[in-house]
Amino acid sequence: MSHKNLRVRCWTAAMLVLSASSLGCNDFLAAENPGAVIVDDLEDPRYASLIPNSVVGEFQPMFGNIAWWNAVYADELWNRAVFFEEGLIDQRNVTDVNGTFNVFLYGPLHRTRFMADDGAARLKRLLGDSASRDLRLARTLVYGAYSYTFLGEMMCATPIDGGDPIPPDELFAKAIERYDEAIAVAAAARTAALALNPPDNRTALGADSIRNFALVGKARTQLDLNQQQAALATAQLVAANFEFRAYYSTNSTRENNWFWNRLTASTSGSLANTPFQAMVGDPRIPRIATGARANVPLSPESFSSWSNTVVDADFVQGGFVRIASSLEAQYIIAEVQGPVASTLTFVNARRAVGLQAPVALTGAALMAELRDQRRRDFYLDNHRLGDLRRYKKYYQVDEFPKGAYPGSTTGETYNANADCWPLPLAETSGVK
């Protein structure tokens, strides 16, 4: 064999070796990753049951956080903390570089919303026709709907999935779409469960709960849109004695009740210098009475650790929080019906809970009293900021704190013009 032929053969052999070695490369290049699920793998039907849990798993820690920070931003807490960003939030001087806002509110809220939207779409693909009567889809939808409602109540505007910012009213409209779908799916799930032999009563009860949860959220959102009669009609559908809760535990910091973390495990806020400081004696606004931690709130009514007294109600690490209730539906009904007799009756019933004497108010005074009772009943459970914005927008009642910022030695003031959260820098400069 000539030298040249040998060379050609060697070349050929080399190319064959290289080609052969490349054949198995695709498999070889698939790196194992036991710490994660690749997005494509979520199309596996085994993930279907995990999806609603995933939305709840994001929603509950998020809810604790936004309830806290919205309370600081509104008028429920005064938080002149050492960490300057918290003080700026209290003054509503929030700019796009405020990392606290991005990390604790904006990011978690959008993660919840995304998990719900993405999860609902995925469930529909995974479950096919049965999705329309599957309670898992209803749960996923309703939590997603609430996250849209919260976005609308908090944000000046916000993009969805990295798009252009959309205003609150559009966010509310998207929320209502989801509430409606959740209500329909829950109703179908209930019907299907009861049609079984034997009937699946547990699922039927769950469907009732999801339906009521969605109804309260829908009515709340309709009120946010000033669709008063629609809100009234929706609220009237809510079952009596209904409550829906966010649950917490001692498992991990993320699963802790955030108010326990901020007010019992530490002292990061106070009701001093807020309108609630004056509500002494109302067991719905309990607080530490004296000492270095005087005026630090204790568990209010929406918290499982509420003791219905003005003292002895520390927040607990695993205590749950009420998100929605028939009480809220009653407030919505009263607000829409206006200063009528039933509203006065309702107001006095709530005053009794607060150990307040009955009143005989009418007109605007009665509606003011209704608003006062509402802020007491829903203290620290993420209603106040939405209410303040709603009152300001539709009733021309501006109850946002204004003027000099209490405790400031450098002349800080509340930002009188601010009533909503801006977009964080991560949103405006981040990539999609």
Partner 1 sequence: MRSRFRRFVVVAIAAIAPPLAADAQNTGSIRGRITENVGQRAIGDVQVLVAGTGSGAITNANGEYVIANVPAGSRTVRVRRLGFVPTERTVNVVAGETTQLDFALSQSLTQLEQLVITGTAGLTEKRTLGNSITTVDVADLNEKTTVLSVSEVLQSKTPGVTFLVGSGAPGTAGEFRIRGAGSISGYRPVVFIDGVRYNIENLGNFAATGAGLAGLAQSSQTTSALDLISPNDIESIEVIKGPAAATLYGAEAANGVIQIITKKGTRGQQKLRWSFRGERGQTEWALDTPVNYTTCDSAKFAAANAATWPGCAGQSLGTVLTDEPMRRHPEALRTGDLQRLSLSVRGGGDRYSLYLAGDRDTDEGVFYNSFNNRKSARANFTFNPTDIADFQVNTSFIQTNLRLPMQDESANGLLLSAARGRPGRLPVRPTLDGWSTIEPERANRYNNQTRSERLTLGGTLNVNPWSWFRNRFTAGLDNTTAQAELLFLPGDEGEPAGAHAQRNPMTKVYTLDYAGTADFALNSTWQLTTSFGTQIVSNRTETLFGQGVGLGAPDVTLIGTATTTSSTSSFSENNSVGYYIQEQIAWNNRLFVTGAVRADDNSSFGTNFDIITYPKASVSYVISEEPGLSNLLRSWRVNSLKLRAAWGAAGRAPAPYAAEQTYTVDRVTLGGTTGSALRTQSYGNPDLKPERGQEIELGFDAGLLNERLALDFTFYNKTTSDMLVSVPVKPSTGFPTSRQTNLGEVNNRGVEFAVTATALQNERVQWDSRLSLATTRNRLNSFDIPGKVSETPTGQAYGAVQQHRPGFPMGGYWAQSPRRNADGSPVVNSAGAVQFDTAKYIGPSAPTREVGFANTVTLFKNLRFYSLLDYKGGFYLFNLKERNRCQAANDNCARNNDPRARFPQNAADSLLMKELAVWRGATAAAAWIEKADFVKLREISLTYTLPTRWLSPAGASSANIIVSGRNIGLWTDYSGIDPEVNSYGGRLFVRADAYASPMTRRLSVAINLTY
Mind spelling out the 3-state secondary structure of 365-425? HHHHHHHHHHHHHCCCCCCHHHHHHHHHHHCCCCCCCCCECCCCCCCCECCCCCCCECCCH
Comparison of 245 and 384: residue with beta carbon closer to partner 1: 245
Q: Is 360 in the site for partner 1 (CB under 8 A)?
A: no
Site for partner 1 (CB under 8 A): which residue of 16, 50, 280, 416?
50
DSSP E strands in 78-159: the ranges are none
Least distance from partner 1 to the Cβ atom of residue 11, Å: 7
Tell me how many residues contact partner 1 (CB under 8 A). 67
Least distance from partner 1 to the Cβ atom of residue 102, Å: 7
Q: Exposure string (b/e) for 20-54, b if CB count within 10 Å is 16 or more?
A: eeeeeeeeeeeeeeeeeeeeeebeeeebbeebbeb
Q: Is 11 in the site for partner 1 (CB under 8 A)?
A: yes
Q: Is 28 in the site for partner 1 (CB under 8 A)?
A: yes
Among 112-120, 226-234, 276-284, 336-344, which window interacts with partner 1 (CB under 8 A)?
Answer: 112-120
Mind spelling out the 3-state secondary structure of 174-235? HHHHHHHHHHHHHHHHHHHHHHCCCCCHHHHHHHHHHHHHHHHHHHHHHHHCCCHHHHHHHH
Site for partner 1 (CB under 8 A): which residue of 43, 44, 161, 169?
161
Angle, CA 128 vertex, CA 126 and CA 129 arms, to 5°: 155
245 in helix, strand or coil? strand
- State how far the Cα of 422 lies from the Cα of 401, in Å rounded to an integer: 18
Least distance from partner 1 to the Cβ atom of residue 318, Å: 8
Q: Is 248 in the site for partner 1 (CB under 8 A)?
A: yes
Taking alpha carbons only, the member of 130, 179, 114 closest to residue 324 is 179
Q: Is 32 in the site for partner 1 (CB under 8 A)?
A: yes
Q: Is 106 in the site for partner 1 (CB under 8 A)?
A: yes
Q: Is 37 in the site for partner 1 (CB under 8 A)?
A: yes
User: Hey, CA dihedral for 267, 87, 430, 115, is it positive or negative?
Assistant: positive
Comparison of 157 and 233: residue with beta carbon closer to partner 1: 157
Q: Is 14 in the site for partner 1 (CB under 8 A)?
A: yes
Among 44-52, 80-88, 226-234, 263-271, which window interacts with partner 1 (CB under 8 A)?
Answer: 44-52
How far is residue 175 from each of residues 227, 290, 331, measured CA to CA in Å? 14, 43, 20
Among 46-54, 232-240, 263-271, 373-381, which window interacts with partner 1 (CB under 8 A)?
Answer: 46-54
Q: Which residues bind partner 1 (CB under 8 A)?
A: 3-4, 6-7, 10-11, 14, 17-18, 21-22, 25, 28-39, 42, 47, 50-51, 53-54, 56-58, 60, 102, 106-107, 110-111, 113-115, 118, 158-163, 247-249, 251-252, 254-255, 318, 410, 424-432
